[in-house]
């Protein structure tokens, strides 16, 4: 006798039916949805480059907005450096 009094035959049948329904469901969904398995690496690389550029643009815009007018020019630094003696 197995756990909770379930016979081995019933347990094995339950496992086989559970796995079979999962595998059949997965197969049916793949037939219905037809996922594209042949993804071109060039398309993937182009998409990644576009994402990288978009992220860099957003970061650049955020930093420009945050620090606009706050960075002193080199002349200002030279003037402050000569005053600190």
Q: How confident is the model at residue 3 (pLDDT cuts 50, 70, 90)?
A: confident
Question: Percent of the chain beyond pLDDT 90?
Answer: 35
Token pair for residue 62?
């955020």
Between residues 35 and 30, the one the model is more confident about: 30
Q: Which of 16-20, 29-33, 79-83 has the highest mean pLDDT?
A: 16-20
pTM: 0.40
Between residues 63 and 41, the one the model is more confident about: 63
């Amino acid at each position: 006798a197995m756990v909770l009094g379930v016979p081995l035959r019933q347990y094995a049948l339950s496992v086989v039916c559970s796995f079979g329904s999962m595998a059949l469901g997965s197969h049916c969904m793949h037939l219905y949805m037809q996922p594209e398995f042949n993804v071109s690496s060039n398309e993937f690389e182009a998409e990644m480059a576009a994402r990288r550029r978009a992220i860099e643009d957003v970061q650049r815009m955020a930093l420009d907005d945050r620090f606009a007018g706050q960075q002193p020019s080199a002349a200002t630094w030279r003037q402050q450096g000569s005053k600190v003696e």
